[in-house]
Amino acid sequence: MWCSNSGKKTGPAYSQRLILHVDADAFFVSVEQVLRPELAGRPVIVGGEDRGVVSSASYEARRFGVRSAMPIVHARRICPHAVFLPPNFEAYKAFSSRMFAIMGRYSPAVEVTSIDEGYVDLTGTLRLHGAPLWEVASRLLDEIRSTLGINASGGLAGSKTAAKMATNLAKPNGLLYLDPARSHLMLGRLPVGAMPGIGEKAQHVLEAHGISTVGDLAAAPLQLLRRLLGRWGPKAAEIASGKYGSPVFCDEGRAQKSYSMERTLDRDTTDYAAVRGLVRKLAEKVAAKLRADGKAAWTIGLKVRYADFTDVSRSMSLRRATNSNLEILACVEELFNKTISRRSPIRQVGVRISGIDEALFQDDLFRPYSGKGSDLDQVRDMIRGKFGFETVRVSGCTASGAVIPSPSKGPLLGSRLGFTCPEAKRPRA
C-alpha cells in the first residue's frame, strides 16, 4: 500500500511535499563498532571468508581503496592491517528494527527499502512537530545516532529520487535539504550516473550520445531515450526533470519484496553437476522461507558468477504466483541449463525469487489453502525444520515426470515416505 500525509491547514508550509531519505553509513561496520567500542577509528571490514566479498567497510578502510563487493583477498592485499569480521546478521536486523521504529515516530508513512535505508514522508507534519521540516529531519537523524550509536545520513527533498541523491551528497553522517522549487539547479549538474536507476552500462550508453549530466537527461529527446534505454528511457527523463514523484509505500510489517540466497564455492569449479546440486539446494531453502511466510512468487531468478567475476543473471515469470517446490525447481533447472553456456570455472551462484504475493491459490476447491504449500511441501518442511535440511533429499525430475536419481549415496528419505514427483509444469519464459 502507499501512504501520504496531509495537514488540515493549507499553504506552502503545510502542503509542500517533503520526503526524507535515511541511509545508515557503513551500517554493518557501524553496528560492529557499537558492539565492540575498541574498533572505533580503526579500519574494519565485514565480509565472508577469503573466497567472499566485502559487505561493508569503515571509512578508515575506504581510504585505502576498500569498497563493497570487492573480493576479500584483494581487500587483505591493499589493507592488511584492517580488522576482518564475519557478518552478524542477527545484530544487524535488531539495529535495523530499532532504526525504523525511530523513523516511524516522526511519521506513519515509512518505506523500508533495505536493511539500512528507507524513506519518511514528512509532508503535512509541520503542525505535529511544531518546527520546520529540515529541523525535524535533523532531529530524527540525531536520535538515530544518539540512541543506536551508529552513523546516519539524510536527504530532504520533494521526491524520493531527489532525496536519495541528496543523501549521497551529504555522506558521511550529514543532512542536505533541497528546496523542491530549486533542487533541479543542483541535481542537474551531477553526472548522469548519480541518478538512481542509471547503472554503469546505461551511463556509458548515454555518455556516448552526449548525455553526461542529469540535466542533459532531463532535456534529451524522448525518442532518443526510448531507443537507447527502451521503455525506461522516457521515465528516466521524467525523474531527472523532477516531474515524477512516486509515493512513499508503507511496508506493513515490513514485508519482504524478494527472497534470495547466494553461496560462494570453496574453489572455482567446472563441475557443473555439483553446481547444479547446490543451485537446487538454494532454491529449496528459498522456497521453504517463502512457504513459511505464507507467500508466493511470480518471478524466479538465477545468478552465476564466474571465476573472472563476470556475472550472468536470468529470470523467468510464471503464469501464476507459486511457492511449490516442484515448480520453483523446474524453473531453476531451466534457467541453469540456459545460463551455463561457457566452459568457464564458476565462483558463486545465487537464487532469487521476487514479485511476492499472498499465497491464495489452492488445488482442492473444497479445502481451504493455508499458504504453506502442498501436503508434500508441508511434510518436507516439517521434517527438515525438526531434524535438519539434509534429512530429506529431493531427487530431480524431468518435464515428463521421470525421476532423475539423486547423486547422493543411500536411499532417499522421500522415497521411504512415499513422495513422488508429479509432472513438472513448464513456466513461461
For the chain, how big is the Rg over CA atoms in Å? 24
Inter-residue contact 372 to 291 (CB < 8 Å): yes
Task: Identify whether 262 is a catalytic site residue.
Answer: no
**CB within 8 Å of 116: residues ≥ 6 apart:** 23, 24, 27, 92, 96, 99
Within 13 Å of residue 134, how many CA atoms lie on the same side as its CB?
13
Which one of the listed residues 117, 327, 333, 334 is annotated catalytic?
117
CB 370 within 8 A of CB 294: yes
What residues contact 306, with CB distance under 8 A and at least 6 apart?
312, 342, 344, 345, 346, 347
Q: Which three cell numbers stand for residue 408?
A: 547422493
Would you tell me how many other CB atoms lie within 10 Å of the CB of residue 123? 21
Listed residue (315, 65, 25, 57) closest to 145, CA to CA: 25
Beta bridge partners of 19: 121, 157
**Which residues partner with 53 through β-bridges?**
71
Catalytic residue annotation: 117
